[in-house]
Amino acid sequence: MGEQPQQQEPLLEVEQCLTSIPEDHEATCWGCGLRLVFSSYSPVYKCGWCGAVTQGNQTSRKPDSVCFSHWRRFRDGFFVIVLVLFMLFVICGGVWAVYPVVFSISIFCGIFHCTVTALLSIFTIASYCLASFKSAGAPPGIRWGSYPMVGKNDLENYTFCTYCSKPKPPRAHHCRSCKTCVVDMDHHCPFIGNCVGASNHQAFVVFLMSVVTSCSYAAIMTIYASYRIWPPLEFPNVSSYGQMGSKKVLMEIITSVASSAFFLSARGIILVYLAFASLSVNAGIAVLLCQQLSLIYEGNTYLSHISSPTDIHGERGLRNLVRFFGCPYPLSRLLLGYTNTGKSQNNSGSKLL
């Protein structure tokens, strides 16, 4: 029997289509140098290999003008000099004006006052120097620009600083006064001539606390010393105060105090000025300190809060303050245990409801 010829199946026709990719859908990652292709245009994109974030029209910016840089340097220097002179005036003037009054009470009170003044002065100046001269937190050096050197997720959420022409970590900002990027930058403070960032933020908050404490103590001591050396007040119409209105009595008291102020000595005038200056500075610094502690409690910085006030950048709670100040282990366990107990009670109560 002869073999029957096999029937050949018809070949399937494969249609090959070549689609062209628009140029605006292609980009090169600045982090690893790989070529990225997108299905649609996006002004901001993230590399799937290194994790770097690229923004559209990302070109290096021109450096600031010489006049602008000189102006910022002059501004910072002026505020630093004013603050240092004010601190020295409060310390030296307060000691000179208060110590005779305190020593007139007793030698123990005088020695105690001088010791407290010395400790507060040393602590305030030391914390100021740390906040001013310590680096605010420069970004760590990292490899970038070429695919073989950059590994998987090495530049996760990094952006490119167009001022420094270098990678910028998350939550870092570029300071045009310091001409560098700062990690966890809170703000640039002209009174310390430096940025407040991850490295010196703790020293800055400690400096604010020491200023509030020192100004409160200075205000109390200067008010007490002013009361002790104030000239005697004269009230000629004291017998007719019962027949006078409250406004007239108040005006009579103010007039008597103002007239007696003309007989104050130079020591008394300095005491009065130090009292008003300490109270006013204390009020302003206390507001700034409360704002800083509130942001730390929320796990946020001032710049991040200004740029995105509605976003939650981290978990809020007392643990942020404990971590920020580096509390000892027993104290941190006590505080965190107390907060966790309160949270568990609240959660159990909500479940029962």
Catalytic residues: 189
- For residues 318-329, one letter each, b for 16 or more C-beta atoms within 10 angstroms of the residue's C-beta and e for the rest, the string is ebbbbebeeeee
Please list the residues that pair with 58 across neighbouring strands: none
How many Å apart are CA 198 and CA 326, to the nearest integer? 13
Whole-angstrom distance, CA of residue 218 vs CA of residue 97: 11
Question: Rg of the chain's alpha carbons, rounded to an integer?
Answer: 33
Report how far residue 306's alpha carbon sits from residue 291's, in angstroms, rounded to the nearest whole number: 13
Residue 174, exposed/middle/buried by CB under 10 A (0-12, 13-18, 19+)?
middle
Contact 233, 257 (CB under 8 A): yes
Distance CA 51, CA 170 (A): 12
| Distance in angstroms (rounded) separating the CA atoms of residues 289 and 294 | 9
**CA atoms 296, 302, 303, 306: torsion sign:** positive
Q: Which long-range contacts (CB under 8 A, 24 or more apart) does 251-259 make?
A: 257/233, 259/234
